[in-house]
Amino acid sequence: MIQLYHVDKIYKQDWYALRDVNLSIGKGEFVFLTGASGAGKTTLLELLYMQEFPTNGQVIVGDYSSTTIKRRDIPYLRRQLGIIFQDFQLMTDRTVYENLAFALEVVNTPRPQIKPRVLKLLSFVGLSHKLSALPYELSGGEQQRVTIARALINDPVLVLADEPTGNLDPQSSDQVMQLLRDINLQGATVLMATHNTEILRHYNYRTIRLDQGRVVEDRSPLF
């Protein structure tokens, strides 16, 4: 599903955000990406959805390679991905329902399929009762669940989550983790950046640790 070969990402001529990263993540895996602030976690995720490109080396995601992908193919790559950002990036002047429906409209989903799909995802994240709410009327945890619903609405094969529990209390964090675990059990590959040590301890998943742009640890699940 994901392969990185000798990937460097260099900013400003000599700043290595990533250095000689080699990784392989298989279909259906759940993987944590961890490391201190500035270690390169977000940069690595940006390379995977091809927001950024490696300075050296190659990134492969599904059928696409950073060395050969055309600009016009990037939207097709992203249609297979569910991307969850730490800052929610919901449209503030649209309701919860409209935010989710929009994600389907932009990929030309046939009209009759939109409503049932939105309602299904809202039910999945436990927010059916909030469909008419505007984002500012929701708690942080609820907003994050809307962004998860949005990320999952097109049935992604790969979910990229950048600190999805970053601003949440332990209970909301648990809800988010349950949702990501369910998605993974349904077959999606999940790569989640976090430095939440509680979560890393509590969930027994493969853990890749970055330190100053290098992979310094790649720990398999303990059973």
What is the binding site for ligand ATP (CB under 6 A)?
11-12, 15, 17, 35, 37-43, 195
Binding at 38: pick from ligand ATP, Mg ion, none (beta carbon under 5-8 Å per type) = ligand ATP
Closer by beta carbon to Mg ion, 19 or else 130: 19
Q: What are phi and psi of 137, to 5 degrees?
A: -85, 0
Phi, psi dihedral angles at 77 (to 5 degrees): -55, -50
Adjacency order of strands within the sheet including 56-61: 15-25, 2-11, 56-61, 64-65
Smallest gap from Cβ 126 to ligand ATP, in A, equals 27
Q: In the complex, what is the shortest distance from the CB of residue 22 to ligand ATP, in angstroms, rounded to a whole number?
A: 17
Could you tell me which residues are beta bridge partners of residue 10? 16
Phi, psi of 55 (to 5 degrees): -70, -40
x-or-dash string of contact with Mg ion, 34-73, rule CB under 5 A: -------xx-------------------------------
Per the DSSP assignment, residues forming a β-bridge with 168 are: none
Shortest distance in whole angstroms from residue 11 CB to ligand ATP: 3
In the three-class reduction of DSSP (H, G, I as helix; E, B as strand; rest coil), residue 174 is classed as helix
How far is the CA of 18 from the CAs of 10, 11, 15, 94, 109, in angstroms?
A: 7, 9, 9, 37, 37
Cβ neighbours of residue 68 under 8 Å, at least 6 residues apart?
none
| Identity of the residue, 38 or 140, whose beta carbon is nearer to ligand ATP in the bound complex | 38
CB of 213 to ligand ATP, least distance (A): 7
Rule CB under 5 A: say whether 196 interacts with Mg ion.
no
Instruction: Give the one entry of Mg ion, ligand ATP, none that residue 43 binds, where binding means its C-beta sits below a cut-off of 5 to 8 angstroms depending on kind.
Output: ligand ATP
Smallest gap, in angstroms, from Cβ of residue 212 to ligand ATP? 8
* Residues at the contact surface with Mg ion, assessed by CB under 5 A: 41-42
